[in-house]
Amino acid sequence: MWILLVMFFQMAFADETLRLAVLEFEAMGEIDPNFLMQLSDETRGGALDVFPPTTSKVQVLTRENLMDILAREGKDSSCIEGECAVGIARSIGARFVIVGSVATVEGQYSTTIGVYDAQSKDLLGQKSIQEASQVVMLGKMRSFSQSLIERTLAQYDEGRLGVRKIGGLEDSWSVEASSHSILEISEPRLNGSSIWINNREVCSMANKSICRALVEHGDVNVQIKRPYCDSLTQNITVAEYTKFQPELRCAFATFVKDPSWTTVRLNGVAINSGEEIGFGAHQLEVETRCQRSSVSVVADERGINHIPNWTEKKRVLTVRYFDEHHRSLSAPVLVDGKKVGQTPLETEVSVCSEELIVDRGVDEPVNLQLRSDWTVEFLDKLQEIVGEHYVARLVPSGSFLIGCAGRKVRCEQDELPRRPRTLPHDFYMMESEVTQDLYESVVGSNPSHHKGSTRPVERVSWYDAVEFANQLSDLEGLERCYVIDGENVSWPDRDCTGWRLPTEAEWEYAARGGDDYNFAGSNRSGLVSRRARPSPARACSKFSLRNGYELCDMSGNVEEWVWDGYADYDSQQHFSSRNKPPSERVTRGGSWYTEEDALSVKARGHYKPSTTYVPTSEGGEYRGLGFRLVRRLGTGFVAEKTSRDQKFLRYEQHRVATILSRAIFRTSLLMYGATFISYKIYLNRPSEEVYQFNRSVHTGALVANAMATGIFLSQWRLRREK
């Protein structure tokens, strides 16, 4: 009885089998299909190691079993998504299903396998392995899959049912013989084709070049349809595992896109790299960031013969330049260093143009690539450098005649011949000589004899001046202009933007102030010069009359060192001190001590560069050597530019007011003198006529004095406010 009962339970449990299906692995990219099949076979081997055929309740389906069932169901054998895998498992009656995918990542093969429960739709486990070699991965796949299957499915095994091997081949298992085999069709140009077997489409070759179909043994009819290729129809006999490599006759070339091309159109339609072009003539349009090409090309067996005919892509650039009254100004316009016209300008330039400059000498370049709008407007401004203890004024570029004009002044031999000079760049010049405050703040000492913080520094040599220029540049973070080696001083970079001494041409051009006066701002030295005094006056005082470039004390106060070595204008040594150091250096402007002719803008002094003072004929010392500095490229505060007409008008008003106030003041002094004389006469001979005359003259003197004082105070207030 008990024996029968045990046999009954054994028979009952024998029917309770759990099927396990291993689907074909899916390639994520270009992977050898044979490699994929071997990986899935190794995974089945790992499953059999966990579930031995003679003792296990879990039945491992072979490839043939799986193919037969899927063929009857009309399904494919590859799947990597959970829902798809569960659906296949349920359709073939499998409780568990294993899926896998293979990809190449940075030169290594990465295989991921997952185990699903078709009943609960749960992912029971997942694991990945990476190897650089296919052989190494195949060698590890069996044990790798075995460990995952044991961890996830061992609990379901009661050692009841197995499967048997057939054909004596390792890892080939089947319950019964199959009447179907796999037909593999491969050809590199199959991508994009459709494959039909016995008038049924079995493969749609999107991004694939291998088709594997499960077909019945015997003769089958294969049809391959592909764009740009002749349709192929052929009968094939299918045995166990059959491979078929058709010979397609195609008429297309594969397009390869250059990485620098941004846009490509074939016959007006956008095309990407890897797309096919039928044999024949086509119109190919190509664009890069900066250029475009449109040419006829021919596609044939050799590919696509493309020789581009590049033309530059253009964009409209509009440049306008205004003064402070929004009046249009003219200035050269440079794009990437090439002149393209004068403002106002509207022109076509390359879309890859980068640097726009309106050549005024002081403006930073405009980066066109950072702008969406290529309409650029500039407002003319005067930049002034405001530093500690100094102000530097902008002197615009231009041309002038250097030397003596012979007009109401005596010409010295070294001031002739007069010749044209051009200064191509704007520059900044200190509005006054270097003051003692500024010199001491940089150097730490004050060599001046006539002390005064706002007076110009004096008793300085030419060497002291160039060393000071370098030190001030260092202090302000600018490049040094001079290379100093003892008494050898060179100026190697003429485009240096640090502080330096002006050249003779720069000094005289700035002193003239855009006019042709004999002195710096006037033809009368008394209005602008500081001379016939016991000592130099305060630099750029409120009573100083400035020239057209807002510079002061360029006639008188102290003589000013300049860069140039001393030589006649017609000498080849002039304007050049590069070959050897000159024995003497030039000074300009005269001083409080010199004669009137020395105050002229054309006058030249010269001393040894080590000179700090000169003995006088009276046995004293002449301590009138100072300097002022210039530099290129302005930084600092920006102020609105005053137009040339406004500057001239203000200058003329100041000049006329000064002359008028002096004349009225002198008239008042004469009237005071007349009042005194008439009063004396009145004391000797008292009379009504003398009394009335005295009273009238005295009243007139008071009125004249008041007028002169009023004019003087109003001009002083304006200068102070400025």
DSSP assignment of 201-228, as one string? EEEE-SS-SEEEEEEESEEEEEEEE-TT
Please give the Cα distance from 630 to 534 (Å, whole number).
29
Give pLDDT, residue 441. 93
How far is the CA of 545 from the CAs of 518, 539, 601, 654, 656, in angstroms? 15, 12, 15, 8, 11
Decide which of 77 and 213 is more confident: 213
Half-sphere exposure of 462 (CA within 13 A, CB side): 29
Name the residue type at position 473: S
Decide which of 401 and 67 is more confident: 401
Please give the Cα distance from 419 to 343 (Å, whole number).
31
The pair of three-digit structure tokens given for residue 708, joined into one six-digit string: 């002169």
Give helix 134-153 / helix 33-50 axis angle, nearest 10°.
Answer: 40
What separation, in Å, do the N-terminal and C-terminal C-alpha atoms of the chain show? 129
> Cα 93–99–103 angle (5° rounding)?
160
**pLDDT grade, residue 408 (50/70/90)?**
low
> Cα 48–52–58 angle (5° rounding)?
80
Which ranges in 394-501 belong to alpha helices (H)? Answer: 436-443, 462-475
Of 457, 461, 601, nearest to 529 (Cα)?
601
Please give the Cα distance from 541 to 539 (Å, whole number).
6
Query: With contact defined as beta carbons under 8 Å apart, do 79 and 100 qualify?
Result: no
Q: Is the pLDDT confidence value at 153 over 50?
A: yes
Which residues fall within 8 angstroms of residue 189, CB to CB, at 6 or more apart? 209, 226, 229, 248, 250
Give pLDDT, residue 634. 38
Which ranges in 128-273 belong to alpha helices (H)? Answer: 134-153
Name the residue type at position 289: R
Q: Is the pLDDT confidence value at 449 over 80?
A: yes
Please give the Cα distance from 407 to 430 (Å, whole number).
28
Q: List, in sequence order, every residue forming a beta bridge with 221; answer none if it has no partner.
A: 235
Give pLDDT, residue 443. 93
Give pLDDT, residue 434. 95
pLDDT digits (tens, 9 = 90+) for 562-597: 999 988 876 544 444 444 578 899 999 888 887 888
**Helix, coil or strand: residue 403:** coil
Please give the Cα distance from 627 to 591 (Å, whole number).
11
> How far from the centroid of its chain's Cα atoms is residue 42's Cα?
57
Please give the Cα distance from 588 to 563 (Å, whole number).
11
> Cα 97–71–223 angle (5° rounding)?
130
Type and span of the H or E element at 510? helix 504-512
> How far from the centroid of its chain's Cα atoms is residue 184's Cα?
57
State the burial class of residue 436 (Cβ atoms within 10 Å of its Cβ: 0-12, 13-18, 19+). buried
The pair of three-digit structure tokens given for residue 579, joined into one six-digit string: 């070959």
Q: Is the dihedral of CA 29, 35, 37, 40 positive or negative?
A: negative
**pLDDT grade, residue 3 (50/70/90)?**
very low
Q: Is the pLDDT confidence value at 66 over 90?
A: no
What would the mean pLDDT of 41-68 be, rounded to a whole number? Answer: 78
Least trusted range by pLDDT, from 96-110, 477-491, 492-506, 559-573: 559-573
Give pLDDT, residue 499. 94
Of 532, 558, 545, 332, nearest to 457 (Cα)?
558
Q: Is the dihedral of CA 130, 132, 133, 139 positive or negative?
A: negative
Least trusted range by pLDDT, from 87-101, 452-466, 521-535: 521-535
Of 320, 350, 323, nearest to 333 (Cα)?
320
DSSP assignment of 433-457, as one string? PPBHHHHHHHHS----SS--TTSBP
What value does the mean pLDDT of the chain take? 78
Give pLDDT, residue 326. 61
pLDDT digits (tens, 9 = 90+) for 610-627: 998 877 666 666 778 999
Q: Is the pLDDT confidence value at 647 over 60?
A: no
Q: Which residue has the tokens 């290594």?
A: 108
Give pLDDT, residue 407. 66
Please give the Cα distance from 294 to 310 (Å, whole number).
8
Range from 64-73, 74-83, 294-303 that averages highest in pLDDT: 294-303
Range from 205-209, 461-465, 684-688 that averages highest in pLDDT: 461-465
pLDDT digits (tens, 9 = 90+) for 230-289: 888 889 888 777 888 888 888 888 888 888 888 889 888 888 887 888 888 889 899 888
pLDDT digits (tens, 9 = 90+) for 9-31: 333 334 457 888 888 888 887 88
Decide which of 136 and 530 is more confident: 136
> Cα 641–645–651 angle (5° rounding)?
90
